[in-house]
A and B are shown apart, each in its own frame.
Chain A
Amino acid sequence: GAGVSQSPRYKVTKRGQDVALRCDPISGHVSLYWYRQALGQGPEFLTYFNYEAQQDKSGLPNDRFSAERPEGSISTLTIQRTEQRDSAMYRCASSLSTGGLETQYFGPGTRLLVL
């Protein structure tokens, strides 16, 4: 079956522009997570959803970052007024259910470069 997919795979944008990153989880997966990974570092938590409900957004760096999952499937991470420090790999993961015991499966990521 298909894994987690993300689009676009690469995004180059100019400082000040808004970007929207999309994540399509594995079919039937309840939980969806967004992480950001800098080069040479482990992924850093941003936010996560159970179904359409955003459970935790404590990792979002500031109010320029937002995420939604309106129908409990596809999710969009939006960054407004991008800054150069936003450049990173943005990774989405999904898991079958909640509870901390399920495997989180990662997508290929979106590499964002802000010029």
Chain B
Amino acid sequence: QKEVEQNSGPLSVPEGAIASLNCTYSDRGSQSFFWYRQYSGKSPELIMSIYSNGDKEDGRFTAQLNKASQYVSLLIRDSQPSDSATYLCAVIVSGSGDKLTFGTGTRLAVRP
């Protein structure tokens, strides 16, 4: 079982719709959770971080964490074509230092 799992996609949504990206993790000691966006040929950039159960909203983005279910998700409201990218879920496991463990990423395509 991979430590961080994501559906590779592609996830295709129409412009203006809500895109829902999901991630599960295997280590219950995971303490910090991150969503990175990576455009093709570019480096990952952080868009959301979440550390406690519940929802965290930032503009059009909402991260949701459920530690009991070992599940973290990212919702993108009013999706725009410029949101088309690969979204990487990453976790830091308690006691492992600060190293990020990434999933394989989900490709999102927003259709105009």
Q: Interface of A with B (CB < 8 Å)?
A: 31, 33, 35, 40-45, 48, 55-56, 59, 91, 95, 98-109
State in angstroms the CA–CA spacing of A44 and B92 once bound together. Answer: 13
Contact of A100 among B44, B92, B105 (CB under 8 A): B92
Contact B51 A44 (CB under 8 A): no
What's the minimum C-beta distance from B25 to chain A, rounded to whole angstroms? 13
State in angstroms the CA–CA spacing of A45 and B92 once bound together. Answer: 11
* B59: Cβ under 8 A from any A Cβ: no
SS class of chain B's interface: helix, strand, loop or mixed?
loop
- Apart from A31-B98, A42-B102, A98-B97, list 18 A-B contacts with CB within 8 A: A42-B90, A42-B105, A43-B44, A43-B88, A43-B102, A44-B102, A45-B100, A55-B97, A55-B98, A56-B96, A59-B99, A95-B98, A100-B31, A100-B32, A100-B97, A101-B51, A104-B98, A104-B100
SS class of chain A's interface: helix, strand, loop or mixed?
loop
Contact B98 A48 (CB under 8 A): yes
Given A42-B103, A42-B104; A106-B98 close (CB under 8 Å): no
For B88, what are the chain A residues with a Cβ–Cβ distance below 8 Å? 42-43
Pairs across A and B, CB under 8 Å, 28 listed: A33-B98, A33-B100, A40-B8, A41-B105, A42-B88, A42-B102, A42-B104, A42-B105, A43-B44, A45-B101, A48-B98, A48-B99, A55-B98, A56-B96, A56-B97, A59-B99, A91-B43, A98-B98, A100-B32, A100-B92, A100-B97, A101-B49, A103-B49, A104-B46, A104-B98, A106-B44, A107-B43, A109-B43
Q: Interface of B with A (CB < 8 Å)?
A: 4, 8, 31-32, 42-46, 49, 51, 88, 90, 92, 94, 96-105
